[in-house]
Structure formats: C-alpha cells, structure tokens
Structure 1
C-alpha cells in the first residue's frame, strides 16, 4: 500500500476519530469471518515474512509498562510495517483485541494483521471497504503526530 501525504486535506478533517473504534471492530470482525485475520506475534511475523505485500493493516495494542520484551517486539514490528508501507493502528487494549480475534477475553493479543482478499489470477484486487479505507486514511493523516493516536476499541 502506498502512503500518500494529504496531511491538511479535507479528507483528514472529515475523519471522526471517536467512531474509529467501531470501524476497526467491524473490520476485525469481517476479516475474521473471511479468514483474513492473523492474530498473535509469531503467526503475524510468519505471514509478514511470507507475503508482506498481502497485508492490509497491522493492529498493535499498547504495551504494558515494564514489559520490555513485548515492547521491543512491538517496536521492531512497527518498523518493519513502516518500511513496507503497511499502516499500523494502535489500540488501547490487548484483551479487547484478543476478544475480536476470537482468543477469549482473558488472553492478551500482542498484535493482529489483516490481509487482503486473496485474488484469483486474472481478477483485479477488490477495493477496500469503506471502513478499511477510513482506517488507512486515518493512518496517513496521523503519520506525523506524536505521540501516535490510540484508537479505543469498544467492548
């Protein structure tokens, strides 16, 4: 995915940040139903190694203070995604992310990636859904914000 800069465009101003959690929940739920959701650090890394061009979005929760190993893995994963033009959306809770991945509510999920629809040879790649496009736009509009914005996932 190519990152286009349109920092101050009207599209950036129209993104409703308070509804991004619901949009992300819908995208995660849809991706899970379509078997396009990869949850967990090792499965995500394996998929990124195999075919990073097929990855649509990476979702990373905030790391807990004092968890240095997870923090280092997260930083490396973010750097890999940035170098490969994969949007990274940070969320407020690894437990909520685990719930949306179907791992249960008492488990942590260090990351999840959403892959594109596997296209059949000869057929064009399907366009992004409106929610997927909104999340991609949000990422592009907030690339230079520091600290990075955190999307709050609904319960």
Structure 2
C-alpha cells in the first residue's frame, strides 16, 4: 500500500473527515485546471502559432482556440521568456508587461468550438541571445475551468536563425 493511500485509510478509520476534505483541497490546489465547484462551466483552451528570432527580436503570432464545451467571455495567456526583455517594448492592444521576462495578452471572447483572433507581437530581448525558450500558459479562462491543461501550455525553443518555429 502506497504511503499517501495508507494516510487516507488511517484518516477514514479515525473518522477524520476534515482531513479528507483538506487533502482534497490540496490535490485540487495542485491541479489549477480542476474546479472545486462541479457546476462550473468547462472550456478547453489551446494556442497554436509560430515564432522566429533574429538579432534579439522575436516575432510571435498565435491563435487561441476553445474546444468547449462552454464559451469563454475572455481569457489571458502568459508568455514567459528565458531571457530578459528589453526595457522598452511596443506591445499590441490587449498585451501588457508583467515582469522582467513576462507578458500577458488577452484573447477576447472565445465561443465553444471556435478559434479566436490571432495575436501578433514583436518582442525585443535585452541582449541578443542565440536562443530563447518561450512558454505559454493560460492564467485566466473567463471563470471557466479547463480540465485539459496539456494543450494550453506550450514550450518553444526559438533559435536565432531567422527560421520559423511552429507550435
């Protein structure tokens, strides 16, 4: 019997229902896509696009998609970079800087089973590295829960070759 299962069995035998509830909260907290309220709307967000880098400039274009089943009134995607961003950036409407290496971008409304508006941005890195790791993930899904977090998280290694990298 595994260690965590043994603890749960001991809690049940000891009548510590509160311990089980607390364990459930901890498990749910470890899975940000699982809602505590089973009646909460569910949407499955995903992002696909392309990136290319040349001399410290990274051009990114991505399209959000909602696989449903519920509509999403708006969502926010976080783009995290392995290299620091230059101090000055010209970002499109709906995108804002959130730290030395982080940008946040709104997707707008996403109907179930539909694709959203493409988001295109140009980012300048503080120095001109030969590669950068770009990570995407949803930080807000309009109040809907996303039980399939695998397709709304992307990790893309972009090399300074001028080649387009698709994700």
TM bucket by the smaller chain? under 0.3
Q: Which structure carries more relative contact order (alpha carbon 8 Å, separation 6+)?
A: 1
Larger strand proportion of the pair:
2
Larger helix proportion of the pair:
1
**TM-score normalized with structure 2 length:** 0.24
Which has the higher Rg, Structure 1 or Structure 2?
2
**TM-score normalized with structure 1 length:** 0.25
